[in-house]
Structure formats: structure tokens, C-alpha cells
A and B are shown apart, each in its own frame.
Chain A
């Protein structure tokens, strides 16, 4: 593989992998704390991207303001989907499969609300209006200001979330819910409140991921949905419980989709159209061969937040 392609694909791996990590941690958290594989997570990402786009189109180009708007919109979308659908369903003691299907349904509803909105205001395939600059150029390695935004922001947020889970009272309660929710009720933890807070965090992080994504590709109502399988593959690699495993999983998936795919394309002529198959292959392989994913590679890695 030509070194220029290799370098570009590795840069892409890091950039996309960081975004996947941010999204997949949300999946891992919802699955652990709420016992829900939430496919509507994709739409919190898209909602955040649109929030960022609209703020940037209104003339505000301060990336911090854009991120905060995306966080707020993602958080609210997640909280509303919980309060309007998941919570009432849990109250009726429905099965796991009903919850999964309802998450698909909520995703569809949000997605097509966004479609309608995008259609009405003509917001298809626009980029968040921060101009592209080359910050660093050395041989084949080209780093843009987008890279400088996406990667550090994702990594810092992942670190903050990990610290929050392991060090703060909120994290302690979230871990308790993940471990044994009945006991949490018994000892007087306000379970519903902790769940609401978890939804705010999960949705907010998804929203920021959407905004960061909208910096590098065009914003479209399907963008979150298009990534959800890759994101789930990353979370499944993390055993749906381990933070370190999920982050590793995110980079593995991004590496497979970018570098490995390109390698197969250049050397064996595999059509790039096969790229969407990669996360499916990873999911099937993990579930068949090592269902616990990357957990237990290090001590207590199966515990939430580690």
C-alpha cells in the first residue's frame, strides 16, 4: 500500500475511532445502567449534529458554543425518549425485545422529524461552517484543524466520563444501578433520578460526537444511523460493560473500516463498497468467539467504568 494512502487512512482511523469511542461509550452506559441496547442512540448523534449546524449557520462560529448547543440538544433528545417511551414501557414490565424494538421505533421517529425539518429549512448535506485549515504537514502526514478539534475533544470527554464513573457520587450510583438495580432501590438510591441523569450524559456526549462529526462530513438526517452498526460493534468489543474495552473496540473498528479496508482494496482489489460489512463481521466474530469482548484482559476490566 502506498505510504500516502497508509498515512491518510491511519489519520482517519484515529479521527473516526475517537468519534466511535464517544458514541460507543454511550451505548455501553445505556446497556449497563438501563439494560437497554439503544438503537435510537444514532439519532441523538444526528440531533446534536443538526443543533451544531444550525448554530453555526446562525453565524456563531465559536466551537465551544457549538459543542454546548449540541450537548444540550442531544441530552434533551435522549431524556425525552426515555421519559416518553422507555420509562413507561419499563413500568409495564415489557420484555427486553420490546425495548429493543421500541428503541428502533423512537430512532425512526426522531430521524424523520429531522428529515422533515431538514427538508423544510433546506438543511441537507451542509457542513458546519468552520473553515478547513491545514495545521501540520510533514511528508505524507497532513493534520487539519478538524483533526485538532475532533481527537482531543473526544479523548478529553472520554477521560472526563471515565473519571466521573469512577470517582464521583453520580458515577458510584450509576455503577450501583448497573450492578444490581433492585438492591439500589432497597438501599434508597433514587433510581429514576440517576437514570435521568445517565440519559442526559449519554445523549449529551452523543450530541457532541454529532457536532464533531459534522465538522468533517456533511450533516444529513441519516448520518447517525449510518454509523450505528460500527458503534455497536465497538461497544460489543468492549463487552457492553468495559470502558477501556469499548474505547479499544472503537479504534479497532475504525482501523478495520479504514486501513484494513484500504489495504484489501489496494492489494486484492476488494471493492470499497464492502466497507459497511466490516462491523457486521466484527460483531458476528466477537459474539461467536469471544462474547465478553475485551473485558477481563486487564483486572476488573469487566466492571463498568474501567
Chain B
């Protein structure tokens, strides 16, 4: 089976700086792929390139058999790639429910000639709200649906971001440090949710993560980056025992 996502010889230069150098990787369907490496190794840049937030200098990105290298971020999102950020990027002045309802496409109530008349879109909105309730249940935030996003805990903000990504029914979710700034117990719970989403909904995850002790419990395959290069790849067991990885990453 061809992998869901393939990167072929991706390179990214920022002026004279080569942030990503000739990286190729593949993510099969229905898997959690870890992307690790020391700070500044180009992991986040790679995520930006896949999501279309930045333009690669060279190389191709293939998603579900289709070349998406030159598509805009919006078009890539429509193809089924959603992403989360290191900093929680939510609408903090809005409720949890509003946050997940925002990305819904083609709502009748977003047309100004319908918007003032509730009866023309209330039915449709109820349908969207039902979908929102489902994704909020999936990440166990349903009881907070009417809370302002700014009043959530750090871990809940991460889960809300994931829930919002799920509204777009993505096939692939790119997550940049989903557990950054979250207590260890909650970080573990976030990964449990991620594993559940993989198992129950067949979603593929590409996750940049520093907390290896948690990632290694859940990842199906791991890529290691160092100074813009791909240093190693393999299963968790292979990576944990790789001598070069231990040297640059753990410093021993």
C-alpha cells in the first residue's frame, strides 16, 4: 500500500541558512509517526512545508497519491491535512463550541442574506452543532462547550485544537508538540486520545514531540532530525537503541 504522505528530497533555505536538507519520509495510513530531534533541527519547518505555511526550496510532497507541493495552505487543508500549533492557537474570546464550529465549510448562515433570519439556518446549524458535539466528546471536552477558550487549562486547549482539526474530517493531522507546557499526567492523556483517534477513526498523525518517554509509548514509527538532516528512522525500539541517535540527541 502506498503511504498516505510522502516527502521526496525536501529542502528549505532561509537566505543562506539551510533549515531542511534533503529530507525524505513516508507516513503510512492509520499510524502515529513521531518526528524528533534537538531544537533547531528543522522539525517545525518541515511541518510548515507540509501544511503549506511555507514554500519548500526543492522537493515534492505527495499526499494520497497526489502532488500537493505547490498548493496553498487552504487547498492543502481541503485535501485533508490539518495542523495544530505549539502555542495554542484558538479564538480565546469565543466559547469552546464556537471554536469548533468556525471551520465548517459552506454554512448557510454565513451568507449575509440568510444570516439575520435564524429560521433559514437554524436547522443546518443544529446539524453542525451535532458534529461539534461528537468531536468534543471524542476529546472529552463536551462538558466545557460553553466555556470561553481562554478559561480552559493548557491541556484542554490542546485538546480543543485537536477537536477543531477533527471538524474538517482530516486524514492526516500534523501536531507540533501537542504536550508542550502540559502536566505529565495530562500529556499522557492527550496521547491516549490521539491513539484512540488513530484506532477508532483511522486518522494518521505526524507529531513533533520532545517528551520521548511519552511519544515512545505510542508512536508506530519515528524519524530523527538533526541540523536539517534526517539522521535515523525506525520503530521505537530501533531508535531507542540507535547509537548515533543517542549521541546527538541524548548526548551520551
Contact of B74 among A163, A172, A180, A188 (CB under 8 A): A188
Q: How far is the CB of A295 from chain B (nearest CB, A)?
A: 13
Q: Is the CB of B102 within 8 A of A197?
A: no
Q: Within 8 Å CB of B78, what residues of A?
A: 188
Main secondary structure of the interface of B (DSSP, over half): loop
With CB as the reference atom, state the residue of chain A lying closest to B97: A172
A189 B116 Cβ-Cβ under 8 A: no
Contact B77 A171 (CB under 8 A): no
Report the separation of the CA atoms of residues A194 and B83 in the bound assembly, to the nearest whole angstrom: 22
Contact residues in B for A189 (Cβ distance below 8 Å):
102-103
Does B109 reach chain A (CB closer than 8 Å)?
Answer: yes
B102 touches A172 (CB 8 A): yes
Interface residues on B, range: 20 to 34
A75 to B, closest residue via Cβ: B112
CA distance A188 to B72 in the complex (A): 11
Please pick, from B74, B91, B105, B109, the residue contacting A170 in the complex, using a CB distance under 8 A.
Answer: B109
Decide if A168 is an interface residue (CB 8 Å cutoff).
yes
When the two chains form their complex, are residues B111 and A197 in contact, meaning their CB atoms are under 8 A apart? yes
Contact of B103 among A188, A194, A200, A303 (CB under 8 A): A188
* 0/1 interface trace, chain A 164-178, chain B, CB 8 Å (1 if under): 100111111101100
Query: Is A187 an interface position by the 8 A CB rule?
Result: yes
Q: Is A201 at the interface (CB under 8 A from chain B)?
A: yes
Query: How many angstroms from the CA of A197 to the CA of B111 in the assembled complex?
Result: 7
Chain B residue with the shortest CB-CB distance to A197: B112
A164 touches B110 (CB 8 A): no
- Nearest CB to that of B125 among chain A residues? A169
Bound: A168/B110 CA distance, A: 7
A303 touches B93 (CB 8 A): yes
For window 79-137 of B, CB contacts with A under 8 Å fall at 83, 89, 91, 93-94, 98, 101-105, 107-112, 115-116, 118, 121, 125
| Residue in B89, B102, B121 whose CB lies within 8 Å of A173 | B102
Q: Do B89 and A186 touch (CB < 8 A)?
A: yes
Neighbouring A residues of B112 by C-beta, 8 Å: 170, 197, 200-201
Q: Which residues of B contact A303 (CB under 8 A)?
A: 93
- What is the distance, in angstroms, from B81's C-beta to the closest C-beta of chain A? 11
**Interface assignment of B168: CB less than 8 Å from any CB of chain A:** yes
Instruction: Name the one of B53, B93, B103, B108 contacting A187, with C-beta atoms under 8 angstroms.
Output: B103
In chain B between 148 and 162, which residues have their CB closer than 8 angstroms to a CB of chain A?
none
Residue A290 lies at the interface, judged by CB distance under 8 Å to chain B: no
Extra pairs beyond A168-B121, A169-B121 (10, CB < 8 Å):
A167-B118, A169-B108, A170-B110, A170-B112, A170-B115, A172-B102, A187-B164, A188-B105, A190-B105, A197-B111
The 4 nearest A-B residue pairs measured at CB:
A169-B109, A170-B115, A168-B115, A169-B107
